[in-house]
Structure formats: C-alpha cells, structure tokens
Amino acid sequence: MKEAKYHKKLPDGQIKCLLCPVGCKLKEGEEGVCMGRKVIDDKLIATNYAQVVSAHVDPIEKKPLYHFHPGELILSVGPNGCNMFCRHCQNWSISQQKQRTMTMMPEELVSLAEKENSTGIAYTYAEPFIWFDYLMDVCPMAHEKGLTNVLVSNGYIHLKPLEELLPHIDAINVDVKSMRDEFYKDVCEGRFRVVKNTVERIVRAGKHIEITYLIITDINDSEAEIKEFIDWLAGLDNTIPIHFSRYFPSYKMNKPTTPIKTLNMAHAVAKNKMKYVYVGNTYIEGTSDTLCPECNNTLVNRSGYFTRVVGIEDGKCSKCKSKVDFVL
C-alpha cells in the first residue's frame, strides 16, 4: 500500500488531503470523493496506485494533441475517478462510478509502452492528477526509457504538487470548461481560478500545452465568453493550439447539441488572435489541418485520426522556411 503524498493531520484526528482544492477531510475508513485516496490505519493511502481502468493505444491526435509528435501512437491509460463532477462528463462511467481495475505496476506500464512502440504514455480518460503518487513513480521511469509523458487533465490541482510533477511531464492538454466561476461551481463543482493558475504555471514552465474548450449550448457559448477566453490565452502565448469541441447531450446534461454556427463563430473569434485553432467532435472543413501562419502552406493534413505531416522540413515550413510550433 502506497502512502499518499500531500496531506495533513487535523487536531480532531481527521486527515485532510492537500492534493487538490476539494480538500477532503477524512476519518478512518473514509475515501476521498475522487475515489483515489482513503484513510487506512490512520494513514492516507493512495488506493488508486497502479490501478488502471482503461488502456488503449491511440493516435496522439485523439487526446487531443495536434502539435506534439503528430501522427504517432501513444499508450493511453486512465484511473477510475475524478475530482470534478461535471454534469456533461463524456466519460462518466469511469470518472464518476467505481469500476473494476487492473493492476499495472510502474515497470509493467513502461514495458508495455515499449512493447507497443508507443511514443510515450498518456494519462487520460478520467483525471490523471488524482493519480499523483503513481505518476511520480511511472513518469521518471518512462523518461529513462526515452518515452514521453502526456497528461490530459482538468487542471484541478494545488500548485505545490503541480510543481513537483511538472518536470516529469512533456505535454499537457488542459480542459478549460468556461471562463466563469459560476459555471465551474454549478456544473463541475470546481473553481475556475485554480484551472487558470494551472494553465499559467504550465505555460511559464515552458511545457507543451494545448487547450480544449467544449462549447455547450446556452452555458458557455457566448461570443463575449469566447473572446475573454481567447484574450486570456493570447496574452499568455498565441501559439498555444486551441481545440473547440462540439458538445452532445451526455450524463446529466441535456442541452441541445452545439450548432455548427456557434463552432464557426468560436473558430473565427479565436483565429483573430491565435495561430492554431481547431474544431473537433465534428467535421467542419478547414478546421482540422494546420496551415503555416506565415504563408498558408499546409503543414499537417488530418482526416479523422489519419495524420500526415506534409509541409514541415527540419522543423520549418517547407515553403517559406519560417519556424513552426511543433514538437516532432
């Protein structure tokens, strides 16, 4: 049993978990709301350590990461549980419900990634930050074998554990759900400020980051909010790839599917300030390929999850020779 890092004992004998802002206070035998940590024999145990709910080899574009090793395959694994409780969760059966898991110790996971000729390991499907103790063991081991570590996350973690984990991570896709704290509170039981801090910290660390924004009808789809989102990101770095994603009714949310015109509006707003903007979960012509921001040469061609790097040579646009923003 692995003792979990980041917690403190309270005067009343309870243990407070300090990994994420949920801040669970737990008595003997109680489990955190993410289902990953539990007090056993007066210790906070990472009960989700090495417990894998799902494992697949996916195109890295599926994370989505479009500018990190394009066209490569990545072994993708996920924990059971999450520290947010989004009413529209697409993966609610593994993020919000207990599921049977398989045990994969760090060395087993790393050797599976090597066997699969994977570019690395993606920690995804549910929330990887609740796997902190596992990640702190697996990620350095993966690096030793020349594999990359990729997170797909809601960004809901305290700064200290984030700082500890970041040196072991190569690329992250953060799901920004809205620019409004009310959205985070009402729809996800989270807080926007924390996610904002996480994104800004990752950018400052110089890590490869891409952002996903799921546009939900009537909730986070106003032009004003999209503008605010883009202004914030453009102020950080206008080369961050943005993935607008089309919402379909799911779990406890039954708002209508996002209209194509809303996705087109978001794409147009973002293109005013950001260099790389994509629309996913549907097909809209001209929103999947990557064009050179200087000369419009097609750098990467994408059809579904079939990806071809067609216009990059030696890290530059093959036509105008300007630098392109890819990790290859």
Cβ-proximal residue to ligand SF4, closest one? 32
Q: Are 82 and 154 in contact (CB under 8 A)?
A: yes
> What does the angle CA 158 – CA 162 – CA 163 come to, to the nearest 5 degrees?
120
Nearer to ligand SF4, 83 or 198 (CB): 83
Taking the complex as a whole, the smallest distance from the CB of residue 96 to ligand SF4 amounts, in Å, to 12
Nearer to ligand SF4, 157 or 292 (CB): 157
Taking the complex as a whole, the smallest distance from the CB of residue 48 to ligand SF4 amounts, in Å, to 9
Cα 270 from Cα 149, distance rounded (Å): 28
Nearer to ligand SF4, 5 or 316 (CB): 5
Q: Are 209 and 174 in contact (CB under 8 A)?
A: yes
* Chain residues that interact with ligand SF4, rule: CB under 6 A: 17, 19-20, 22-24, 32-34, 36-37, 83, 130
Per-residue three-class SS string for 248-299:
CCECCECCCCCCHHHHHHHHHHHHCCCCCEEEECCCCCCCCCEECCCCCCEE
Taking the complex as a whole, the smallest distance from the CB of residue 90 to ligand SF4 amounts, in Å, to 20
Nearer to ligand SF4, 32 or 78 (CB): 32
| Neighbouring residues of 29: CB distance < 8 A, sequence distance ≥ 6 | 38, 39, 40
Taking the complex as a whole, the smallest distance from the CB of residue 323 to ligand SF4 amounts, in Å, to 39
**Inter-helix orientation angle 223-236/260-271, to 10°:** 30
Taking the complex as a whole, the smallest distance from the CB of residue 111 to ligand SF4 amounts, in Å, to 28
What region does 35 belong to: left with phi over 0, alpha with psi -120 to 50, or beta?
left
Any bridge partners for residue 58, and if so which? 74
Taking the complex as a whole, the smallest distance from the CB of residue 24 to ligand SF4 amounts, in Å, to 3
Kind and range of the H or E run holding 193: helix 192-204
Tell me the torsion sign for CA atoms 18, 22, 26, 32.
negative
